[in-house]
Amino acid sequence: MNKSPLNKTDRESVAGLQRQLDELRKRLGISDRGQILHRFDASYCDEEIILVEADGFGGAVLRVVEGNYPVDFYTREERVFTTEAEALDAAESFRALAA
């Protein structure tokens, strides 16, 4: 963890790289890393939630979490997919099975 502020040159370099990354992701049609693509309540009492989170490289992770998400929860199941669409389809299928 950086404990001192970045100098102007370094800050501008990081900002420039982020702009390039944002433009590339937009052109390729992929989501930012950590972006929640979808959230499904798998149970009526919201104790079990199905999340699809983008990995920032075109893929995504499907997680089934239990507890008080996002504050106090544990991940019961996790699956990695090479595309965001595959993860979303799997979440829909998982949701249908849970219903």
pTM given for the model: 0.83
Ordered by start, the domain boundaries in the chain are 1-30, 31-98
Contact between 85 and 60 under an 8 Å Cβ cutoff? The reply is no
- Give the model confidence (pLDDT) of 38-97 as tens digits: 998 877 666 889 999 999 999 999 999 998 888 999 999 999 999 999 999 999 988 777
Q: How far apart are alpha carbons 58 and 26 in whole angstroms?
A: 11
What are φ and ψ of residue 47, in 5° steps?
-80, -25
Q: How far apart are alpha carbons 44 and 99 in whole angstroms?
A: 9
